[in-house]
């Protein structure tokens, strides 16, 4: 390679691509994406602090404290609200050149790494299941979330719906399993099932109009339940168990509804052809 070739190669590599000036201007939607990422980071910090403090006090023995879990979940729900609105704000006002990348990176933190870390804190300090199984289930959640986001950026469905369980809903379902069940082989299998749903080809409808309002209302109700749970522990954990059960039922019902709908379509097509 000649010096001229080398100089040309370096110039090509250093040549900026895209609107460099605009790429560093954060829009309002980007601020929401960054808020989502910070919420995910703080949720991990809360869970780590809980483990560290208890291990110090209890001399190596750790039992998850519900209040710390509730605080982490509230942070993730706030992150989910930011994620819900960043796309709306970007369409309504202005999106920056790196808005989509920021959104995906924030989702990896809040809905990939944070729930995976929660699974480790939930099941990693118990003798009921081997630690490698807990780490494997947590890693499956993280990997499925990353693959889900990468596929979302590359693949568009004809209907415009989501292919696979959206990662925020997947994270909330994993959290619901953690809230409802003790660590066991069966609950870890349920976590793996959620990871599979995220990378599956099952189409989940995009929240629009009344559905979008319902999703936002569901988030607000869960935040209220969690706040009540932390502020008045003597009131019991029935409200949050109801919310978690509804989340799992919703995620399980959508694939069944899709399968029944497709079966009806096939029968209708066969009837017309015959």
DSSP string, 7-62: HHHHHHHHS--S-HHHHT---HHHHHHHHHHHHHHHHHHHHHHHHHHHHHHTTS--
Strand partners, 203: 163
Q: Is 127 domain-assigned?
A: yes
In a domain, 187, yes or no: yes
**Would 134 be classed as within a structural domain?**
yes
Residue 1 lies in a domain: no
Which pLDDT belongs to residue 8?
45
Task: Answer yes or no: are the C-beta atoms of 102 and 59 closer than 8 Å.
Answer: no
| 93 in a structural domain | yes
What pLDDT sits at residue 12?
A: 47
Do the domain assignments include residue 246? yes
CATH of the domain at 141: 1.20.120
Tens of each residue's pLDDT in the chain, 274 residues: 554 454 444 444 444 454 545 556 777 777 888 888 999 999 999 999 888 877 776 666 667 777 788 788 888 888 888 887 777 776 777 666 777 788 888 899 999 999 999 999 888 888 888 889 999 999 999 999 999 888 876 766 565 567 778 888 888 889 888 888 888 999 999 999 999 988 888 777 666 666 666 666 766 776 677 667 666 655 556 766 776 777 777 777 766 766 676 677 677 766 777 6
Q: Position of tokens 């694939």? A: 255
Structural domain harbouring 139: 25-229+239-273
Into how many domains does the chain fold? Answer: 1
Residue 6, domain member (yes or no): no
Burial of 133 per CB tally in 10 Å (0-12, 13-18, 19+) = middle
Please give the structure tokens belonging to residue 45: 């910090």
Sign of CA dihedral 221, 222, 228, 231: negative
pLDDT given for residue 248 in this prediction: 76
| Confidence (pTM) | 0.76
The number of CA neighbours under 13 Å toward the Cβ of 234 is: 0
Structural domain contains residue 13: no
Q: How many CB atoms lie within 10 A of CB 268?
A: 10
With CA atoms as reference, report the closest residue to 144 among 192, 82, 188, 76.
192
What are the DSSP E strand ranges found in the chain?
162-163, 203-204
Neighbours of 187 (CB within 10 A): 20
């Amino acid at each position: 390679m000649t010096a001229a070739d080398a100089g040309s190669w370096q110039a090509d590599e250093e040549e900026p691509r895209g609107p460099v000036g605009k790429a560093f201007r954060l829009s309002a939607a980007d601020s929401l994406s960054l808020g989502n990422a910070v919420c995910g980071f703080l949720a991990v910090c809360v869970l780590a602090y809980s483990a560290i403090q208890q291990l110090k006090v209890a001399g190596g023995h750790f039992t998850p404290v519900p209040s710390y879990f509730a605080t982490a979940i509230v942070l993730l729900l706030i992150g989910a609200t930011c994620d819900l609105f960043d796309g709306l704000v970007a369409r309504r006002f202005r999106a920056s050149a790196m808005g989509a990348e920021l959104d995906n990176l924030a989702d990896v933190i809040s809905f990939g790494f944070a729930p995976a870390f929660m699974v480790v804190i939930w099941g990693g300090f118990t003798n009921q299941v081997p630690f490698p199984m807990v780490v494997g289930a947590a890693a499956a959640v993280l990997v499925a979330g990353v693959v889900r986001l990468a596929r979302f950026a590359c693949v568009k469905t004809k209907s415009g719906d989501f292919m696979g369980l959206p990662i925020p809903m997947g994270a909330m379902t994993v959290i619901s399993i953690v809230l409802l069940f003790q660590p066991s082989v069966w609950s870890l299998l349920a976590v793996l099932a959620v990871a599979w749903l995220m990378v599956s080809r099952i189409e989940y409808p995009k929240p629009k109009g009344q559905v979008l309002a319902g999703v936002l209302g569901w988030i607000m109700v869960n935040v209220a339940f969690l706040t009540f749970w932390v502020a008045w522990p003597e009131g019991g954990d029935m409200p949050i168990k109801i919310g978690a059960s509804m989340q799992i039922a919703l995620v399980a019902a959508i694939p069944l509804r899709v399968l029944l709908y497709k079966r009806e379509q096939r029968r209708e097509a066969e009837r017309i052809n015959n």
